[in-house]
Structure 1
């Protein structure tokens, strides 16, 4: 007598499916099956509107088309000045801006390369 699996009875195409032997592919099929069969994920939506907005933004960003990054040797380097006090203002004098470093380049030159549109607006160029 031939063994018949009763749990597969009434399901079309079950006998015609050839399951893969590759363990990685089997794992992906199991994950896909769990995505289609587990229904409690819709119940776990956060109630807080700001949390939902942030999660939606994050998940949408996973699918955006990202531009190819430049090679590191073509990227601009930059420095960040962090004031020690909250209300401390960081200002350079004109002499400090024009003074050349040991590389022969001034701070003003760096700022012009990093922020060309802002400096053009400030100096009406």
Structure 2
């Protein structure tokens, strides 16, 4: 089990909107971030763009420089929850706010799953200056 609750990034995302479910209950970090991913998906439209950007920016920072446990938990717990949301979370809402590592993980996840990334992702990537998949 991780003692993540004391880290700055954890407090940053908790402080963005207290209504978002980001439990500090002792369960493994990947499970807590999956719960948070579901809460984020349900509430993303009502969050201000700055709030979404702050959350996704903090999580991108974890992917870049967090411990292996932390970055894996963000990828598998949070990001994969968004990609597989049964209610169909629309990544277009947050794509511009996802950092390079988050976007790369999304594209790799689609390839690994044997799925083509949606066409709009390829278009967004080419107009963004980042190579398309």
Q: Could you say which TM-score interval applies, normalised by the shorter chain?
A: under 0.3
| TM-score in terms of structure 2 length | 0.20
Instruction: Determine which structure has greater relative contact order: mean sequence separation of CA pairs < 8 Å that are 6+ residues apart, divided by chain length.
Output: 2
Structure richer in helix, relative to its length: 2
